[in-house]
Structure 1
């Protein structure tokens, strides 16, 4: 297993654990307070599992197939994805917890701003991902119909 596949595997496994813990935290906090659903806390579980686990496994498969880590954009892609997922889900857990606890601070513009920064960071990660994948598709001359791929880009 290469260093990059190890990173993607470990990251996907860690995001799975974080997603499951977020789901458990949501269930227990809302149950103990009697708060109905419909808070930001309710979507943190799903965001962690999709942005962390599913994308981590997708990146792992594409790394195995196309050696994404050979792209000069790879380190930026990896760490930007990690940071964007952490900030986005972290702000959801924080704001959602405040909502469940009935705090007026849940409507803070600062929290919304931090969440927005997380989403912007994820956007940058996805742009880096597509650029890295495009560069590796161009470089993959051994693939069937490689000339068609290079002409398309």
Structure 2
């Protein structure tokens, strides 16, 4: 759980810093206000996919102990984070080129696409781990309910 909390906190810091970079870099380079650049998307991707999603995963971990499936949880964590970092880095790179008036290449889009695929793969692995954890939790609750239901009439 500490790993999730730390990663979420780091994404919050980097997300806020990327918003500051976006604002200051566009001002410094006299980029027209309101004109689209992917720098703003990096800010929201880092805050939403990094900070907020990992806080939600942290809450789900607390309730369902998802990390009990250690291998699945590790695969989720590393795939997902690699995807978020790769995607955000390409958004910053592409956005910076736009602000500087430079031409972007298809390579940047391809790498960003790979980042999105890693995020997707990570989320699929996460849902497999979550399904198992919910199944374990439901099995534990139904076993507790059966024991309680059997013992309660005897106690009366």
Assess same fold via TM > 0.5: yes
- Runs of 5+ in structure 1 lacking a partner? 148-153
- Identify if the C-alpha distance between structure 1 residues 102 and 81 changes in structure 2 by more than 3 Å, giving closer, same or farther: same
Runs of 4+ deviating beyond 4 Å: 144-147
Give the CA deviation at 1:142. Answer: 3.2
Once the two structures are superposed, residues 74-124 of structure 1 have per-residue CA deviations (whole angstroms, 9 ceiling, x without a partner) of 1000111110100010100011001100111x2x01101000000000000
Counterpart for residue 122 of structure 1: 119
Counterpart for residue 112 of structure 1: 109
Matched, 1:133 2:130: yes
Output the aligned Cα RMSD: 1.7
- Identify if the C-alpha distance between structure 1 residues 102 and 146 changes in structure 2 by more than 3 Å, giving closer, same or farther: farther
Matched, 1:85 2:73: no
SS in 1 for 2:84: helix
- Runs of 5+ in structure 2 lacking a partner? 146-156
SS in 2 for 1:142: helix
* Aligned pairs (5 A) from 1:28-43: 28-36=24-32, 37-43=35-41
CA distance in 2, matches of 1:69, 1:28: 40
Greater radius of gyration (CA): 2
Structure 1 length normalisation: TM-score? 0.87
Give the CA deviation at 1:143. Answer: 3.8
